[in-house]
Amino acid sequence: MLSEVVALFELFVAALRQLTVLPSDPALRLAVYSAIALAVLTLVVMFNVLVLSELAGRRQRRRAAFNARWRPLLTAWSLGERVDLPPLNSHRDEERFWLLLMWVNLQRQLRGGTKEKLNTFFGHLALDTYVASLLDNRRAHRRLLALACLRHVGEERHWMSVAPLVTSSNPVESLAAADVLVAMNPERAMRFLVPFYIQRKDWAYLRFKALCKQAGRTAAGPPLLTALEQSPHPRIVALLEWVAPSSAAQWARRSLLQLPASMELSREQRDAVCASLRCLAELHSAQDRELIEQAFNHPLPQVRVEAVLALKRQANEADEAQFMRMLSDPSWWVRQAAADALVDLPGINKPRLNALSEGLQDRYGRDALRRAIAEKR
């Protein structure tokens, strides 16, 4: 029995010796080396995955514990209760980063005086120094978080730190910086940003229009008017509604007089024409009615909609035929705008509206008018 065990052991040793001896054939030897390298690489990858999973799990547990500790305190401060705060580990950058994320998310959800209470919490922990340091961070998401914080704080003393980011090649980052500047000082910001808007083709019109709305007409109007006087570019004309109508009227009329009777309009030109119509609508001037009515025949439905809305602002009983004509427009939006304008026409009554509805040959226009009559009632 013992001899059999010894023989089995010797056979096993011989097999191992054969496996450890490299074959003499170069191709087989290369295959062995490749298999060994693949096995080592597989082990390294598996080890790396295990280590990263463990680190991610630990970080997730730390963040969950941090949120459980700080969220009730942040909520209490937002309600005006200045509860005692535990020490914030200044050596752990991630804790301050998590706290800023929590603070910004809560700021976005709240309104009114509660935001000021959260700003008090921000100042109590002296987080502004850390936020200012994030503006120089290489990671874009950290810079964007810093900009979001400074927008809610709105203190002009950070102007010099934020202003250089307006020139960033990243349009998201540059517009976020512009948003912060408007929150700090609208008048100063619009004087600074309007020239950039002319140069930056990657700044979307609607995004900059939102900045003008945030700043208000008082802040946005003067720099836009200055830019118009220097060069009436369609990108600036498209923002005419944020200039006082009496000052912007000449540019609006010029834009409509130069309006080509074709669909070959760039998006900037189309936005400029629509803004011009909105500007003239605010003036309620009889001399502009002809320009507005000419836009009723433009091929672009967006222009026709704005023309209907502009005429509605200064319409009288004599404009009934104009709106009736637009009820047969091929565009759904134009028909709806014309129907709403018709039911709001001064001096018109329900029997007259019903008679107009019955006399319409276009079924789509009739449906639009019936809808408007029902909503008005």
- What confidence score (pLDDT) does residue 36 get? 76
Q: Which residue has the tokens 């912060």?
A: 180
**CA end-to-end span of the chain:** 108
Q: 328 with 297, same domain?
A: no
- What confidence score (pLDDT) does residue 2 get? 61
- What confidence score (pLDDT) does residue 106 get? 87
Q: Is residue 13 part of a domain?
A: no
Average pLDDT for 111-124: 83
Higher pLDDT, 337 or 241: 337
97 burial via Cβ count (<10 Å: 0-12, 13-18, 19+): middle
Q: 303 with 215, same domain?
A: yes
Q: Which residue has the tokens 């700043």?
A: 215
Cβ-contact 153, 162 below 8 angstroms: no
pLDDT of residue 333 exceeding 90: yes
Q: Is residue 37 part of a domain?
A: no
Radius of gyration of the chain (CA): 34
Confidence of residue 88 (pLDDT cuts 50, 70, 90): confident
The pLDDT mean for the chain works out to 85
Q: 323 with 295, same domain?
A: no
CA distances from 73 to 61, 67, 82, 225, 288 (A): 19, 10, 9, 48, 59
- Identify the domain boundary among 290, 311, 332: 311
- What confidence score (pLDDT) does residue 283 get? 84
Residue type, 336: Q
- Identify the domain boundary among 311, 337, 354: 311
DSSP secondary structure letter of residue 77: H
Q: 338 with 305, same domain?
A: no
- What confidence score (pLDDT) does residue 90 get? 57
Residues 6 or more apart whose Cβ sits within 8 Å of residue 26: none
Q: 164 with 135, same domain?
A: yes
Q: 282 with 208, same domain?
A: yes
Chain segment 6-22, per-residue pLDDT in tens: 776 676 666 556 556 66
Cβ-contact 241, 219 below 8 angstroms: no
List the domain range (segments joined by +) for residue 357.
315-377
Q: Is residue 43 part of a domain?
A: no
Q: Is residue 281 part of a domain?
A: yes
Structural domain count, the chain: 3
Q: 218 with 271, same domain?
A: yes
Residue type, 231: S
DSSP secondary structure letter of residue 319: G
Cβ-contact 144, 172 below 8 angstroms: yes
Q: 179 with 221, same domain?
A: no
Average pLDDT for 177-197: 92
- Alpha-carbon distance of 308 to 294, in angstroms, equals 11
Q: Is residue 39 part of a domain?
A: no
Collapsing DSSP states into helix, strand and coil, what is residue 187? helix
Residue type, 371: R
Collapsing DSSP states into helix, strand and coil, what is residue 244? coil
Higher pLDDT, 206 or 21: 206
- Alpha-carbon distance of 377 to 367, in angstroms, equals 15
CA distances from 242 to 185, 253, 302 (A): 17, 16, 20
Collapsing DSSP states into helix, strand and coil, what is residue 24? coil
Q: 301 with 209, same domain?
A: yes
Confidence of residue 28 (pLDDT cuts 50, 70, 90): confident
pLDDT of residue 262 exceeding 70: no
Cβ-contact 118, 148 below 8 angstroms: no
- Alpha-carbon distance of 201 to 266, in angstroms, equals 14
> How big is the CA angle at 73 (ends 113 and 88), to the nearest 5 degrees?
115
- Among 264, 215, 274, which residue's Cα sits nearest to residue 241? 274
Q: 303 with 223, same domain?
A: yes
- What confidence score (pLDDT) does residue 183 get? 92
Q: 365 with 331, same domain?
A: yes
Chain segment 30-85, per-residue pLDDT in tens: 876 787 788 888 888 998 998 998 888 888 898 888 888 888 888 888 888 888 88
Q: Is residue 86 part of a domain?
A: no
Chain segment 90-104, per-residue pLDDT in tens: 557 888 888 888 888
On whether the pTM is more than 0.85, the answer is no
Higher pLDDT, 369 or 2: 369
- Identify the domain boundary among 311, 339, 368: 311
- Alpha-carbon distance of 3 to 367, in angstroms, equals 104
Under the phi-then-psi rule, with left for phi > 0, alpha for psi from -120 to 50, and beta for the rest, what region is 216? left
Cβ-contact 258, 228 below 8 angstroms: no
Q: Is residue 23 part of a domain?
A: no
Q: Is residue 302 part of a domain?
A: yes
Q: Which two tokens stand for residue 198?
A: 């002319």
Cβ-contact 221, 244 below 8 angstroms: yes
3-state helix, strand, coil in the chain (%, to 5): 80, 0, 20
Q: 158 with 258, same domain?
A: no
Chain segment 135-144, per-residue pLDDT in tens: 888 888 899 9
